[in-house]
Amino acid sequence: MNENWFRPAFDRMDAAGKQALMESLAARYQMTFLGLHAFDRWGQSCTTGLFEKDGREFVFVPGDTVTLGWERFAVGLDPDSRKELDDLFQEWEIEQAPEELVRAVMAPVRQATIGPMLVGRKLEELCWEPVKMSDPRVTAHPDWLKKFRDFAWSDLDSLTLHQSARIERMKNGFQIWIYNRTDYDALLAGLEQQGLSLPTVDEWAYLCGGGCRTLFPWGDGMDYSMHLHHFESEEDQGKPYDMEESNFFGLSIAYDPYKREVVKADAFTTCGGDGGCNICGGLGIFLGYLPCSPHCKPEVQEDKELNGDYDFCRPVIRVQTSG
């Protein structure tokens, strides 16, 4: 096994060594190597390779042996988060201690050896297929066309017909999507045909937290200075969302509790969000974003059908380490 595929040795390599290793990856997996890039965030960093294939951008994430899961605060719940929880617990008459409540929804502590991967940098939408207005699957629905015409004369930015069709106002006109029902097994099979997969639960936790022992990659509480999805003030309008920015591996991951990331498991399983249940239930920022913790228990869904409004995927390629 070539130890350079793993983080301790990979981090010690000089730029020329990494360049050669990344070029070999590009050739092996028929990708375009875009160059080396340094990512540094939340006390972790990685200078690694960026790639492009079939319109997707990938980043090389070296493997590592890490501790995953959570049982207690590593540095202690910060004062702002504690105040939010104290106020919420008083309002909801919850007698449980914050650490006990958090521990109940966290995965158990475990050691895991994670192999190196080429990882899709962005989440990908599921079920929604972009089409033209002239697509027969659209024109066969006069009621859709009427609603699209009404939308075009409105001041709305988008219109969604539940699990049927969607239209959005773009800079140069309109884009239409239609909804295709699909399930977990079909998603895995379709990715496999492309030479792709999904991260496992442990792989996802590593990609999200990098082996951090704090509750979140940045610490043991929420950073309330961040611009967060669903909790934006007027002065934040138009600003980038902090958690959506690239992490230390160059990934945009676990930044919106409404977006569940589908992972590879024995049954349809998601990480990185609860479909917005905590936020919709009025539980505030800390508990609203708790499902985005890398240590949160994965959620096994009740059936196999994907929900294109909440389920998203992140393709990965597991790198063979024999060379």
Q: What is the pTM of this model?
A: 0.95
Q: What is the pLDDT of residue 235?
A: 81
Nearest CA among 281, 271, 258 for reference residue 301: 271
Residue type, 31: M
Contact between 46 and 249 (Cβ < 8 Å): yes
Q: What is the pLDDT of residue 233?
A: 83
Contact between 26 and 51 (Cβ < 8 Å): yes
Residues 258 and 139: their CA atoms lie apart, in Å, by 31
Residues 58 and 315: their CA atoms lie apart, in Å, by 9
**Phi then psi dihedrals of residue 199, to 5 deg:** -65, 150
Residues 165 and 299: their CA atoms lie apart, in Å, by 28
Q: What is the pLDDT of residue 1?
A: 65
Per-residue pLDDT 10s for the chain (323 aa) are 689 999 999 999 999 999 999 999 999 999 999 999 999 999 999 999 999 999 999 999 999 999 999 999 999 999 999 999 999 999 988 888 999 999 999 999 999 999 999 999 999 999 999 999 999 999 999 999 999 999 999 999 999 999 999 999 999 999 999 999 999 999 999 999 999 999 999 999 999 999 999 999 999 999 999 999 999 887 888 889 999 999 999 999 999 999 999 999 999 999 999 999 999 999 999 999 999 999 999 999 999 999 999 999 999 999 998 75
Residues 279 and 270: their CA atoms lie apart, in Å, by 17
Q: What is the pLDDT of residue 125?
A: 97
Q: What is the pLDDT of residue 16?
A: 98
**Counting Cβ atoms within 10 Å, is residue 30 exposed (0-12), middle (13-18) or buried (19+)?**
exposed
Q: What is the pLDDT of residue 2?
A: 85
Q: What is the pLDDT of residue 234?
A: 78
Residues 262 and 123: their CA atoms lie apart, in Å, by 10
Q: What is the pLDDT of residue 206?
A: 98
For the residues of 159-226, what is the DSSP string, one character each? Answer: EEETTTEEEEEETTEEEEEEE---BHHHHHHHHHHTT-B--BHHHHHHHHHTT--SSBTTBSS--TTS
Which regions of the chain does DSSP assign to beta strands (E)? 32-41, 44-53, 56-61, 64-68, 110-114, 117-120, 124-125, 128-131, 158-161, 165-170, 173-179, 260-263, 269-271, 299-300, 311-313, 316-318
Residues 209 and 254: their CA atoms lie apart, in Å, by 10
Residue partners of 98: CB distance under 8 A and separation at least 6:
77, 82, 85, 89
pLDDT digits (tens, 9 = 90+) for 216-253: 999 999 999 999 999 988 788 888 999 999 999 999 99
Q: What is the pLDDT of residue 218?
A: 97
Q: What is the pLDDT of residue 232?
A: 86
Structure-token match 């442990």, residue found: 202
Residues 44 and 48: their CA atoms lie apart, in Å, by 13
